[in-house]
């Protein structure tokens, strides 16, 4: 196995194109344990962390841009980002431990293709887009379309994610991410729930997004819940509809960490709680972009 550390997107693309089994990595917190666990090692491991735009976190008046290999700790430590997207920030802050977060990236979390990846529901509810580079040029793909199944993505073998784009959150908008794990930390979600809410001036919900992780082969949107929330104040009756819709959308596995019935039940509970936290945050974010 060879190691390559390109300093530009073009160099990385040509390395990937020239070697049939080359593979990119960022923090290596998924790929190295997988290789140690017996997965076939690629011929060339292409390190993305030496490319400037892949390890940056910037914003302008339209959007935030997060380099795909940026250590997730930077998302939790950046105050402006955390204030605007507390849900993405708290999801990033749940990945493993301090040591893991100093290496792990959003690009790796997404492209590893785990249904339980913590950042993915949080990115999805915020309409995050992935800029994908390849020999034929760049393409912009909604994060919800990147993972096609457990461990599988829509990327060709010579493509990789350069960065993520997240539109600036309008005022009266809040997001949240919650997960249930059997232990208190360092565990994988049995259920993860990301929610985002935008309020109208009268305090009712003008827009809502809800996504669940670890309950199906890929992260799922709960569109019935999103529709039910519009025009309401997330009262008890509406939250009961949200919980039922969240449970209904689940298609989970049954394993030692949670039965199907347990995951369905927990999905409903976390969905309601995540919506309420997003609501509360939306009420507090009035006026500032
Ligand atoms: C102890 C421990 C605890 C963990 N806890 C959690 C947890 O609580 N929650 C959680 O979600 N995950 C957890 N993980 C898994 C892992 O840390 C995360 O998924 C992390 O975000 C992966 O990022 P990375 O940069 O290290 O990925 P890497 O290992 O570098 O890459 C992972 C995969 O993505 C591909 N890839 C990486 N970057 C790109 C890119 N830019 N474009 C295309 N493909 C790319 C690689 O080829 C590889 O297949 C844990 C891992 C460990 C070892």
Q: Are residues 163 and 178 in the same domain?
A: no
Measured in angstroms, how far is the CA atom of residue 31 from the centroid of ligand 1?
Answer: 7
The sign one gets for the Cα dihedral 87, 193, 246, 238 is: negative
Name beta bridge partners: 176.
195
**Contacts of residue 82, Cβ cutoff 8 Å, sequence gap at least 6:** 75, 76, 89
Measured in angstroms, how far is the CA atom of residue 69 from the centroid of ligand 1?
Answer: 10
Query: Is 11 part of a structural domain of the chain?
Result: no
| DSSP-based three-state secondary structure for 75 | helix
Which pLDDT value is given to residue 214? 96
User: Are 213 and 122 a contacting pair, CB within 8 Å?
Assistant: no
Q: Are residues 163 and 177 in the same domain?
A: no
Domain final residue pick, 167, 198, 223: 167
Query: Is 37 part of a structural domain of the chain?
Result: no
Measured in angstroms, how far is the CA atom of residue 109 from the centroid of ligand 1?
Answer: 4
Q: Are residues 60 and 148 in the same domain?
A: yes
Report the residue count for the chain.
289
Please tell me what DSSP assigns to residue 255: B
Closest CA to 177 of 120, 220, 129, 226: 120
Q: How far is CA 106 from CA 38, 75, 128, 138, in A?
A: 24, 10, 11, 19
Mean pLDDT score across all residues of the chain:
96
Domain range holding 126? Answer: 51-167
Query: Is 21 part of a structural domain of the chain?
Result: no
Query: Is 19 part of a structural domain of the chain?
Result: no
Query: Is 22 part of a structural domain of the chain?
Result: no
**Which residues have CB under 6 Å of ligand 1?**
23-31, 33, 48, 68-69, 94-96, 100, 103-105, 107-109, 111-112, 117-118, 155, 160-161, 186, 188
Closest CA to 25 of 69, 56, 75, 66: 69
Query: Is 178 part of a structural domain of the chain?
Result: yes
Measured in angstroms, how far is the CA atom of residue 205 from the centroid of ligand 1?
Answer: 34
What's 130's domain CATH number?
A: 3.30.465.10
Which ranges of the chain have pLDDT less than 70?
A: 287-289
Q: Are residues 96 and 67 in the same domain?
A: yes
Closest CA to 26 of 12, 10, 41, 11: 12
Query: Is 17 part of a structural domain of the chain?
Result: no
Domain final residue pick, 112, 137, 167: 167
User: pLDDT tens for residues 142-181?
Assistant: 999 999 999 999 999 999 999 999 999 999 999 999 999 9
Q: CA angle, corner 48, sides to 42 and 54, nearest 5? A: 150
Phi-psi region of 210 (alpha: psi -120 to 50; beta: other; left: phi over 0): beta
Q: What whole-number distance in Å separates Cα of residue 171 and Cα of residue 259?
A: 40
Domain final residue pick, 167, 184, 204: 167
Q: Are residues 147 and 181 in the same domain?
A: no
Total number of domains in the chain: 2
Measured in angstroms, how far is the CA atom of residue 54 from the centroid of ligand 1?
Answer: 15
Nearest CA to ligand 1 atom 38: 108
Q: What whole-number distance in Å separates Cα of residue 104 and Cα of residue 84?
A: 21
What's 252's domain CATH number?
A: 3.30.390.50
Question: To test the ligand 1 pocket, which listed residue (107, 116, 143, 158) has its Cβ within 8 A of the most ligand atoms?
Answer: 107
Q: Are residues 57 and 154 in the same domain?
A: yes
Structure tokens, 125: 């509810």
Burial class (CB in 10 A: 0-12, 13-18, 19+), 46: buried
H or E stretch covering 249: helix 236-249
Query: Is 255 part of a structural domain of the chain?
Result: yes
Q: What whole-number distance in Å separates Cα of residue 207 and Cα of residue 204?
A: 9
Alpha-carbon dihedral of residues 30, 34, 39, 42, nearest 10 degrees?
A: 40
């Amino acid at each position: 196995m060879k190691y390559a550390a390109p300093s530009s997107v073009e160099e990385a693309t040509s390395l990937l194109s020239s070697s049939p089994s080359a593979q990119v990595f960022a923090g290596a917190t998924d790929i190295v344990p997988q290789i140690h666990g017996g997965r076939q090692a690629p011929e060339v491991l292409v390190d993305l962390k030496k490319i400037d735009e892949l390890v940056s976190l910037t914003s302008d008046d339209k959007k935030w841009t997060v380099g795909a290999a940026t250590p997730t700790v930077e998302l939790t430590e950046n105050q402006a980002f955390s204030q605007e997207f507390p849900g993405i920030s708290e999801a990033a802050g749940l990945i493993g431990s301090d040591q893991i977060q100093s290496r792990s990236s959003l690009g790796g979390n997404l492209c590893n293709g785990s249904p339980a990846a913590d950042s993915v529901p949080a990115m999805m509810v915020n309409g995050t887009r992935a800029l994908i580079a390849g020999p034929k040029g760049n393409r912009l793909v909604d994060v919800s379309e990147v993972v096609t199944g457990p461990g599988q993505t829509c990327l060709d073998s010579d493509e990789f994610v350069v960065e993520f784009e997240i539109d600036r959150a309008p005022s009266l908008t809040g997001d949240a991410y919650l997960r249930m794990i059997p232990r208190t930390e360092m565990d994988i979600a049995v259920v993860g729930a990301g929610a985002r809410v935008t309020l109208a001036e009268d305090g009712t919900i003008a827009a809502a997004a809800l996504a669940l992780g670890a309950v199906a082969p890929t992260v799922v949107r709960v569109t019935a819940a999103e529709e039910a929330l519009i025009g309401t104040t997330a009262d008890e009756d509406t939250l009961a509809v949200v919980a039922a819709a969240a449970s209904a959308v689940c298609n989970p596995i049954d394993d030692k960490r949670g039965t199907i019935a347990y995951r369905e039940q927990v999905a409903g509970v976390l969905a309601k709680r995540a919506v309420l936290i997003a609501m509360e945050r939306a009420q507090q974010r009035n006026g500032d972009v």
